[in-house]
């Protein structure tokens, strides 16, 4: 039985009235979000729109000033241990234990989630292989490129086989071949019943990859639904620009 006022656990993630202020700046203004289970859900918005803030609060990394969030009906802030056991997070800009080797970092993540050591070892080997990091697994993460670091952090987010993956800019700095492999992994994960929530600035990628999308601008949700519903017959990038504004059409630099 779910707790009173908790949303339907068939939704992978639900956020209600998430609000966050940093000093005088209101970063997020009462954001509501509903992510269906089994969806590949894109979160898009201009730089500084509040995407990372929203995902951080919805997954327990940043406490909201107001509002609540649930992972499959489990309150993220009232029952954090249970909620976090069901979600894997690839956060943007969060420091990691980069003096560990890639294999040690993924192993550490698995053991933190209470997995048996033999299970962690097998999964770590599998994840490093599919991320094309098998040869780099013994090297310290501090020596990795930006793309390699992104991949090993994704492996650490997946090692405990969560129900939901929340990935902030997972393809940033990742080479095209690795990006294609990661997309295949994520699509297979969704096909087996998992849910992926991914933030990205690349509209073409979101349009091709995602089943649903939410558009955030100036800390507010301005559109949400299936990709086809949100784009309304337009290219998603065109619809995005129309929704968030700010395009300087026809303007140029006379001196250039």
Which has more confidence, 243 or 4? 243
Task: Please give the pLDDT value at position 246.
Answer: 72
Task: Please give the pLDDT value at position 140.
Answer: 97
Q: Tokens 């040869």 sit at which residue?
A: 135
Count CA atoms within 13 Å of residue 234 on its CB side.
Answer: 12
Mean pLDDT rounded to a whole number for the chain: 92
Measure CA 174 to chain center.
15
Count CA atoms within 13 Å of residue 29 on its CB side.
Answer: 10
Asked whether the predicted pLDDT for residue 7 surpasses 90, the reply is no
Residue 148 CB contacts under 8 Å (≥ 6 apart), including other chains:
102, 133, 136
Q: Are the CB atoms for 150 and 92 separated by under 8 Å?
A: no
Distances in whole angstroms, Cα of residue 194 to Cα of each of 12, 66, 163, 165, 208? 9, 28, 5, 8, 18
Each residue's pLDDT tens digit, 198-228: 998 889 999 999 999 999 999 999 999 999 9
Return the CATH number of the domain spanning residue range 1-86+162-246.
3.40.50.300
Which has more confidence, 139 or 7? 139
Rounded Cα distance, 58 and 16, in Å: 9
238 CB neighbour count, 10 Å cutoff = 13
Q: Are the CB atoms for 211 and 219 separated by under 8 Å?
A: no
Q: Which two tokens stand for residue 25?
A: 């700046």
Smallest CA-to-CA distance from 86 within 11, 24, 139 is with: 11
Q: Which two tokens stand for residue 218?
A: 């100036």
Each residue's pLDDT tens digit, 28-77: 999 999 999 999 999 999 988 999 999 999 999 999 999 999 999 999 99
Task: Please give the pLDDT value at position 1.
Answer: 41
Task: Please give the pLDDT value at position 250.
Answer: 66
> Domain segments of the chain: what residues?
1-86+162-246, 91-160
- Interhelix angle 102-112/146-158, nearest 10 degrees: 30
Pinpoint the alpha helices (H) of 86-135: 102-112, 117-130
Task: Please give the pLDDT value at position 233.
Answer: 93
DSSP tag of 210: -
Asked whether the predicted pLDDT for residue 4 surpasses 60, the reply is no
Each residue's pLDDT tens digit, 224-247: 999 999 999 999 999 999 998 877
Q: Are the CB atoms for 89 and 61 separated by under 8 Å?
A: yes
Q: Are the CB atoms for 195 and 165 separated by under 8 Å?
A: yes
Measure CA 163 to chain center.
13
Each residue's pLDDT tens digit, 140-189: 999 999 899 999 999 999 999 999 999 999 988 888 998 998 999 999 99
Each residue's pLDDT tens digit, 81-134: 999 999 999 998 788 999 999 999 999 999 999 999 999 999 999 999 999 999
């Amino acid at each position: 039985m779910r707790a009173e006022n908790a949303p339907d656990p068939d939704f992978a993630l639900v956020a209600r009235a998430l609000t966050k202020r940093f000093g005088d700046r209101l970063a997020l203004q009462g954001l509501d979000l509903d992510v269906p289970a089994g969806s590949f859900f894109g979160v898009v918005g201009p730089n500084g729109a509040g995407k990372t803030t929203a995902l951080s609060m919805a997954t327990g990394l940043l406490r909201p000033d107001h509002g609540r969030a649930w992972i499959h009906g489990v309150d993220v802030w009232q029952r954090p241990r249970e909620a976090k056991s069901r979600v894997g997070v690839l956060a943007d800009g969060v420091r990691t234990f980069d003096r560990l080797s890639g294999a040690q970092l993924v192993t550490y993540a698995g053991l933190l989630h209470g997995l048996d050591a033999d299970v962690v070892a097998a999964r770590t080997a599998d994840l490093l292989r599919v991320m094309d990091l098998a040869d780099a697994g013994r090297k310290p993460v501090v020596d990795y490129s930006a793309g390699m670091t992104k991949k090993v952090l994704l492996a650490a987010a997946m090692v405990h086989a969560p129900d939901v993956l929340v990935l902030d800019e997972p393809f940033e700095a990742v080479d095209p071949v690795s990006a294609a492999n990661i997309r295949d992994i994520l699509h297979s994960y969704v096909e087996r019943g998992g849910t992926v929530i991914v933030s990205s600035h690349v509209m073409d990628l979101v349009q091709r990859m995602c089943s649903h999308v939410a558009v955030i601008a100036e800390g507010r949700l301005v559109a949400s639904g299936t990709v086809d519903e949100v784009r309304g017959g337009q290219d998603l990038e065109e619809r995005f620009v129309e929704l968030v504004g700010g395009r300087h059409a026809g303007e140029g630099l006379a001196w250039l």
